[in-house]
Structure 1
């Protein structure tokens, strides 16, 4: 037995989470982490050499600005410049007219904070207004610590320099000297995923026993990888004119590769007795996957050199390989010159900007929490804990679950950063006598923080926070390493106070829950699955690739539900029994929905392989319509208040008595999966006013 077998369940879950987050292979993560860590060391060297203050501010700009590809980094740099102009303009006005009038100054800063948080919720450029809110809050520390307006203006100008020169550095390094182009990242990731497909085919053929084949990816991992490719596709279309000219082909290729991974993973796990004909077919598929891999490396459209004959098509149908075969055939015939459909542009503001009171309440809550922290640390004359005010803004998210998730990440990162600062201050800094040794001490901390910060959203903020806390404690006192342990104490205590105040305010004053929104997201995902089943075609033409792209849309919908599921699980304002019932039903719907997608793939391939008279095809069309209507009806029940979603009592197991036994069994299995969806009417899962309040305990 391993050591993990003796660990308590919570510790095992934490260890599994950390292992998954630290080993995640997102496209471009290694290059992004290397660039970010190197730029952090460069910024420390430049700031200490040229005596530029506010090193921690320069580092946090890098952590927010360095992105996974050069195009996105440039976009964020432009946003930072615009946000800085707004920040400086607002603060100059406040300092000019209200420096000596604390009440007016705080009121003006509160109005700026309120407006910024409101615009962050309703505007597409929310990141820019988030930066304005942070600077408006942080700017209040300048008049409190300096007695003369001239010195305050000088400090503000140095803050502009400390924030802008890292933007210039990251654009030069990440945008021009060592750019990570979205097209190159996309090609490398497609190549990696196709290598996994080849490994699964070798495993099916029986040759994998003699080689070290990589472990099969779970369904959620394939979903995440496909969605990451779609994100790169969006950036590549904006960054490269040549890619944009054949963007529809690459979008279809991404969907096809995701499908090939999913199907070969499932088939490789079955250990089918293939025989000589099956092995020959798999050899042909493997060669075509290799040809697709080569075309991806050359950034050229894939062209098929293999056309399966009648015997091979029959073998493919017998071993459920007709779907992959048809996918490669259709991708080879895809016209890369066809025009891309124009995607609708998202409006700048949300539709209910002026009518939904939730946005105003959110801005009021954040402003109130920040002012409470300001009044506390200013009244106590403890300026070192001003990070409490920043914390209230940083952890402000629409729902209590998302805010609590951010609080946990911020608290964890702050504690790690404070511990590292404490250890280095006691054991390492006293022995340093030059900047070279100091940079060597910082390098592993910065690169570790960069690696964590470039991971998934579930944990990336820990890396940003622990580097920022470490820098605030060790780099902000003069232009050299600090040995003041009081700084470490004050920063950590300030963050903890901010978390406590935010928890109280966001939980008890107009708490927002994503519970009802989660049911809406589940309904949207099921409607996408119904649309997939309802498609009138079963094969032929380029419809196969259209089907696969719609399947990728379903994956995206389920992934959005998974993300919201994790946030709702942290909503402390829900009663435990209400939250548990909601989460259990949500998990059942997600698992059932994914099984339906896989089962419909199998059934759809079988329908095409067998071929039927027109009357039987019409009967199958009616059956598919009935199944899709059942999913739509269930989705409508999910959006009701209270939910009225209940699965159908029964569905026809097969549309025709003439259907083969195999086809009927597959149809029966899909119908059973629809019927087994959870019943939401047995116990109310809607969120009423009483359920939103925390339990009263005696």
Structure 2
């Protein structure tokens, strides 16, 4: 049986650096477009003289999407939602103006509401961004007790969301690719790595292939649905791509399994050439319609199985098999999660988040140190539900804040005094935005640091209008970020610490359920759909195991099955590939479609 590459529960330093510099498909373009959007938002804020341009820049960094359709939908939805929030805030301002106790109560209630929505509804993570802007506006209003100034502060708070939202809608339509383009590029990336695995397998290539497989079909099926919303593409093209995306997962799985077995006596150059040719077609936005695999000569049984998948790679006749399984797997859910009002963890999360916000708010008010008000903002960025996530991302938080702060203060010392015009200032902002965007567009294990880099950099350098040489503000804001990190970490790990261990069993059960369905699938295409679902659940299980293993010793002592779960996950990964190996293939009727 083919054995998976070595796996570990922990993210090693070498693995971290590979993830940091990994040029994954579309990452560079995504990071450049995100940095461009942040720079445009900063430019608009400078022209309109919107105070604290760091907030809309940070909102843009947090909410910017990869494709133009999602950007448009998210931009419009966030602005409509925030319009309702602003309307409610006018009433709150009337009640809280010049009433400190009422203001504190309003901040607490709003924090509780937004944290609960972020945990128990589909509003996550937009909820946290809305909370950040709303609470920040409340703090600003508290410093401007005159009614007219308070009203102006509310209008500026609206701009904090309106400017990023408008940028997402209009700029996103200009510079972001269509979801169909991203779909074909993702398929091409899987074919390219498949060819490389057959030509020159290596541990790093296998690691990259596993990362792509663990994504399952989630992002690709999302792009397919968004492509249908655009109404720009024919139904036949989308049906062909629907089949191609699942076949790309099957081909990558087979090539990964093949790369772990002894090399064949003869290199399968014809399959490698075919895979590269197909990848080129997808990269150009098309798809291959007629692949002649029967001209292949002297290929092994494993390579023959790959060729069978290639022969029907974009055949729309099999879409009915896919939709049958996808319809059965689709769960109808409302705005709130099924356990929103029964699971106490949602309420506990909201209480802990609110406690962090109120402690931070109380601290900076008691110290009368306005510069550290960023400790309150930070609480909405760093709150996480489980102990494993808090510990896992603690290093990312602190390192991201320090890197962003170093970039901000370094630019104030070295660059700001020499900037002669607004173009140079925007260029500096673009560089800082790109560094944060590059990290944020990476793997989920490191993306969190990118948001922290952007948070510290924007809050350090965006004070007033144009270049600043005020290092005091930058220092104070970075201190505030570190205080907010410390308070949130302390609260979440002290009160009702929630373990990742309890979340392992559910996705692991789904893994084996889908492996069984894969084994008994009546058609090859349905088997590939179950394969993609299995890979998604494997990714969730492996990540949850990693988080649970990072929790303190006293919590791991209450994890008697942790090693067993880890072993079962590795076994499941082997079984997933095992069922696609030609020597022990349970659905040998693959050839019936050849």
- Fold-level match, TM-score > 0.5? yes
* Aligned 8 A contact 2:96 2:103 in 1: yes
**Preserved contact between residue 248 and residue 338 of structure 1 (Cα < 8 Å):** no
In structure 2, do the counterparts of structure 1 residues 57 and 320 end up closer, same or farther at CA, with 3 Å as the change threshold? same
Q: Of 512, 523, 527, which residue of structure 1 is paired with 2:498?
A: 512
| Partner Cα separation in structure 2 for residue 304 and residue 433 of structure 1 | 59
What are the superposed Cα offsets for residues 576-635 of structure 1, whole Å, 9 maximum, x if unpaired? 4445x6543333222111112222222665566699xxxxxxxxxxxxxxxxxxxxxxxx
The normalised TM-score by structure 2 is 0.87
> What is the distance in 2 between the residues matched to 1:173 and 1:512?
41
1:84 aligns with 2:98: no
Cα deviation, 1:217-263, whole Å, max 9, x if unaligned, reads 55523414654434433433444463655645433322222222232
Corresponding residue for residue 589 of structure 1 = 568
1:600 corresponds to which of 573, 579, 583: 579
State how far apart, in whole Å, the 2-side matches of 1:420 and 1:332 are: 48
Classify 1:184/1:143 alpha carbon distance in 2 versus 1 (closer, same or farther; 3 Å).
closer
Native 8 Å contact 1:183 1:243 kept in 2: no
Contact kept, 8 Å, 2:76 with 2:169, in 1: the verdict is no
Give CA-to-partner distance per residue, 1:503-556, whole Å, 9 cap, x none: 232222222222122122222212222222244x5xxxxx11221221111111
2:213 alignment partner in structure 1: 223
In structure 2, the partner of 1:488 is 474
Give the 3 Å change call, closer, same or farther, for CA 465–329 of structure 1 in structure 2.
Answer: same
Unaligned runs of 5+ in 2: 1-9
Pick 1 or 2: higher relative contact order, CA cutoff 8 A, min separation 6: 2
Match of 2:161 in 1: 163
Q: Distance in 2 between matches of 1:394 and 1:610?
A: 51
Cα-to-partner distance string for 1:364-385 (whole Å, 9 max, x where unaligned): 2221221122112112211221
Q: Is 1:185–2:182 an aligned residue pair?
A: yes
**Equivalent of residue 529 in structure 1, options 515, 519, 525:** 515
- Within the candidate set 314, 323, 331, 2:305 is matched to 323
Give the conservation status (yes or no) of the 8 Å contact 1:43–1:166.
yes
In 1, Cα distance between equivalents of 2:563 and 2:311: 41
Corresponding residue for residue 264 of structure 1: 255
Distance 1:321 1:223 in 2: 19
Aligned counterpart, 1:564: 544
1:416 maps to what in 2? Answer: 403
Following superposition, the deviation at residue 120 of structure 1 comes to: 2.1
Equivalent residues of 1:395, 1:404 under 8 A apart: no
Does residue 375 of the first structure (1) align with residue 357 of the second (2)?
no
Q: Is the contact between residue 32 and residue 66 of structure 1 (CA under 8 Å) also seen in structure 2?
A: no
CA 1:457–1:86 in 2, change beyond 3 Å: closer, same or farther? farther
Q: Taking structure 1 as reference, are residues 610 and 186 closer, same or farther at Cα in structure 2, changes over 3 Å only?
A: closer
Q: Does 2:231 match 1:232?
A: no
Q: Distance in 2 between matches of 1:305 and 1:83?
A: 53
Secondary structure of 1:437 counterpart = helix
Q: Distance in 2 between matches of 1:526 and 1:301?
A: 34
| Cα contact 2:364–2:373 (8 A) shared by 1 | yes
Equivalent position to 2:152, from 146, 151, 154: 154
The answer to whether the Cα contact below 8 Å between 2:292 and 2:311 also exists between their aligned partners in 1 is no
Change (3 A) 1:425 1:132: closer
Q: Is the 8 A contact 1:326 1:544 kept in 2?
A: no
Matched position secondary structure for 2:444:
coil
CA distance in 2, matches of 1:194, 1:243: 24
Asked whether the 8 Å contact 1:330–1:544 carries over to 2, the reply is no
Residue of structure 1 in register with 2:340 after alignment: 353
- Given the alignment, which residue of 118, 121, 124 partners 1:120? 118
SS at match of 1:471: helix
Q: Any unmatched runs of 5+ in structure 1?
A: 1-10, 205-211, 538-542, 612-698
State the SS of the aligned residue for 2:383: coil
In structure 2, do the counterparts of structure 1 residues 25 and 273 end up closer, same or farther at CA, with 3 Å as the change threshold?
closer
**Counterpart contact for 2:519–2:586, Cα < 8 Å:** no
- Report which of the two structures shows the higher radius of gyration computed on alpha carbons: 1
In 2, Cα distance between the equivalents of 1:602 and 1:457?
30
2 CA distance for matches of 1:410 and 1:168? 29
Question: Does 2:534 correspond to 1:544?
Answer: no
Query: CA 1:333–1:596 in structure 2 vs 1: closer, same or farther (change >3 Å)?
Result: same
Equivalent residue of 1:548, what SS? helix
Deviation at 1:473, TM superposition (A): 1.8
From 49, 52, 59, the equivalent of 2:50 is 52
CA distance 1:182–1:378, shift in 2 (3 Å): same
Deviation at 1:463, TM superposition (A): 2.0
- What secondary structure is seen at the aligned counterpart in 1 of 2:377? helix
Q: CA deviation at 1:56?
A: 0.3
Contact 2:215 2:536 in 1 (8 A): no
Structure 2 CA distance for partners of 1:199 and 1:461, relative to 1, 3 Å: closer
Give the superposition deviation at 1:29.
Answer: 2.2
Q: What is the Cα deviation at residue 197 of structure 1?
A: 3.4
The equivalences for 1:296-335 within 5 A come to 296=282, 297=284, 299-300=286-287, 302-307=289-294, 319-331=301-313, 334-335=316-317
SS at match of 2:581: helix
Partner of 1:70: 68
How far does residue 284 in structure 1 lie from its aligned partner after superposition?
A: 5.2
How many residues of Structure 1 are paired with residues of Structure 2 in the alignment?
576
Kept in 2, the 8 Å contact 1:521–1:561? The answer is: yes
